[in-house]
């Protein structure tokens, strides 16, 4: 059985859950509690020297790390339904949108970064929240511009089927809502998010639906 | 003619230069001076709503953003020499190593992040440098563990030919050296970096070799 080592509120694990659901793949979950620091225990470091989640361990014992690499692997091994468009230009666009979230927004708001801001730099809650919202606002403004003006957009980030871009977008929208970011300026993002969330693959991957959600 | 909009010291542009060189593709460079804030000018925002570099504009007028998406596009359009292994497991490993740099290290040490630390949070030079070195040390420790213990490693991050992982690694090593990070604990990273730098595709992509280097 394929096992996902993750955490219900980890954006990166959330992405992999959506991908597994879209592909219709069976998997079991093994929670790694990030708040308790379990990602730093030897058992997790043996799977993931980065001390992060998620890791996906296949039924052949292959250990995969990094959420986007895992999603691309799943897409190669289980091509239907595809997470990337059939054309190279479309794939470049979807990967670019996914990476706008995964490389420009999410890394700055990771738990370990927030811990450094508070523990090492002494930020109070207000300054931490400003930091959090700043990077979401910067990234979402760019994303809204791209999604609203580019012909490739449809019901979803690219066309009318969900892709790797939506897989990255939805966990980021979840985080934005959790930290009460103002999303009124991003109507296209909100429209696409509503379309995604209407699909069981997305709703069943939501943090609150996971076995380790408190 | 393919045009790369970049900046000599941008790690992400550096990655694309290496990929273009490995593929033996002709391109011209159009510098976007990040220190002068040219990435925020309308001309750049029209290409790249994220206000970032690099963008690659192909001879067909296609505009591509996000360095890893650009590299994958180049690899699909110009398959030889490949930037990813032939097997799905190998591709997952190379993408995972690339993303360890591109999603866990580099985003935290971007110019815009350093500006926020100084401008908004009032960090002094020493605290900024500690931040910079901290994320490199965290990421490189994990990378060293993976590269030294995994059978996939060779003369390069994966096997004996350069891949997307090396394309991400070398600009990050350049940054680490520029900010005088202690690399003595990462012998495998240093060995692989030396092998990469011996190749013209890498040395000709170095910041100092670019037309906009001061």
Q: What is the pLDDT of residues B198-210, one digit of tens each?
A: 999 999 999 999 9
Residue A105: closest CA among A141, A152, A74? A141
Per-residue tokens: A36: 């308790």
pLDDT tens, A103-152? 999 999 999 999 999 999 999 999 999 999 999 999 999 999 999 999 99
Nearest residue of A to residue B78, measured between CA atoms: A88
The pLDDT value given to residue B52? 95
Per-residue tokens: B77: 């359009």
Question: Pairing relation of β-strands A63-65 and A55-57?
Answer: antiparallel
CB atoms within 10 A of CB A52: 27
Q: Are A47 and A56 in contact (CB under 8 A)?
A: no
Alpha carbon distance A214, B18 (integer Å): 46
Residues 6+ apart with CB under 8 A from B142: A49, A50, A51, B100, B104
**Helical (H) or strand (E) element with A64:** strand A63-65
* Domain definitions of chain B by residue range: 3-81, 88-201
Q: Is the pLDDT of residue A78 over 80?
A: yes
pLDDT tens, A22-40? 999 999 999 999 999 999 9
Would the CA dihedral through B170, B171, B177, B181 be positive or negative? negative
Q: Kindly list the residues from chain B whose CB atom is less than 8 angstroms away from the CB atom of residue A73.
A: 88-89, 91-92
Examine residue B178 and say whether the peptide bond preceding it is cis (omega within 30 degrees of 0). Answer: no
Mean pLDDT of B109-122: 96
Q: Is the pLDDT of residue B214 over 90?
A: no
pLDDT tens, B63-84? 999 999 999 999 999 999 999 9
The nearest CA of chain B is from the CA of A47 a distance in Å of 10
What is the interface size between A and B, counted as CB pairs within 8 Å? 114
Of B66, B113, B145, the CB nearest to A95: B66
The pLDDT value given to residue A214? 73
Q: Kindly list the residues from chain B whose CB atom is less than 8 angstroms away from the CB atom of residue A91.
A: 72-73, 76
The SS3 call for residue B38 is helix
Q: Are B16 and B67 in contact (CB under 8 A)?
A: yes
Q: Kindly list the residues from chain A whose CB atom is less than 8 angstroms away from the CB atom of residue B107.
A: 103-104, 107-108
The SS3 call for residue A55 is strand
CATH number, domain A3-81: 3.40.30.10
Residue B126: closest CA among B135, B117, B138? B117
Q: Which pLDDT band holds residue A89 (cuts at 50, 70, 90)?
A: very high
Q: What is the mean pLDDT of chain B?
A: 97
pLDDT over 70 percentage in chain B: 100
List, edge to edge, every strand of the sheet that includes A55-57.
A28-31, A3-6, A55-57, A63-65
Q: Are B75 and B83 in contact (CB under 8 A)?
A: yes
Are the Cβ atoms of B145 and A51 closer than 8 angstroms?
A: no
Nearest residue of A to residue B113, measured between CA atoms: A108
Are the Cβ atoms of B73 and A92 closer than 8 angstroms?
A: yes
The pLDDT value given to residue A115? 96
pLDDT tens, A8-19? 999 999 999 999
The nearest CA of chain A is from the CA of B204 a distance in Å of 25
Are the Cβ atoms of B76 and A91 closer than 8 angstroms?
A: yes
Q: Are A3-81 and A88-201 the same fold in CATH?
A: no
Q: Which CATH architecture has domain A88-201?
A: Up-down Bundle (1.20)
Are the Cβ atoms of B142 and A50 closer than 8 angstroms?
A: yes
pLDDT tens, A161-176? 999 999 999 999 999 9
Angle in degrees, CA A47, A48, A49, rounded to 5: 120
Q: Which pLDDT band holds residue B151 (cuts at 50, 70, 90)?
A: very high
Residue B207: closest CA among B5, B1, B15? B15
Q: Which pLDDT band holds residue A180 (cuts at 50, 70, 90)?
A: very high
Alpha carbon distance B156, A65 (integer Å): 19
Are the Cβ atoms of B104 and A107 closer than 8 angstroms?
A: yes
Asked if the ipTM is above 0.95, the reply is yes
The pLDDT value given to residue A34? 95
Are the Cβ atoms of B103 and A68 closer than 8 angstroms?
A: yes
Alpha carbon distance A120, B130 (integer Å): 10
Of B62, B102, B107, the CB nearest to A108: B107
Q: What is the mean pLDDT of chain A?
A: 97
- Burial, B35: exposed, middle or buried (Cβ in 10 Å; 0-12, 13-18, 19+)? exposed
Mean pLDDT of B20-27: 98
Phi first, then psi, for residue A34 (nearest 5°) are: -70, -30
């Amino acid at each position: 059985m394929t096992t996902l080592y993750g955490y219900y509120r980890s954006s990166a694990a959330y992405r992999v859950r959506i991908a597994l659901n879209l592909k219709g793949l069976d998997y079991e979950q093994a929670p790694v509690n990030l708040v308790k620091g379990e990602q730093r225990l030897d058992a997790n470091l043996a799977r993931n020297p980065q001390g992060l989640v998620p890791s996906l361990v296949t039924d052949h014992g292959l250990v995969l790390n990094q959420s986007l690499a895992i999603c691309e692997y799943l897409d190669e091994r289980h091509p239907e339904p595809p997470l990337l468009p059939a054309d190279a230009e479309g794939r470049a666009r979807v990967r670019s949108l996914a990476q706008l979230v995964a490389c420009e927004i999410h890394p700055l708001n990771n738990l370990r970064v927030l811990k450094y801001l508070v523990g090492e730099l002494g930020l109070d809650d207000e300054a931490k929240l400003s930091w959090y919202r700043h990077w979401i606002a910067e990234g979402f403004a760019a994303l809204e511009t791209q999604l609203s003006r580019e012909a490739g957009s449809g019901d979803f980030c690219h066309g009318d089927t969900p892709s790797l871009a939506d897989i990255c977008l939805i966990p980021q929208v979840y985080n934005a809502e959790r930290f009460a970011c103002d999303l009124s300026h991003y109507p296209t993002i909100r429209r696409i998010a509503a379309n995604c969330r209407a699909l069981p693959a997305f709703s069943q991957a939501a943090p609150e639906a996971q076995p380790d959600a408190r």
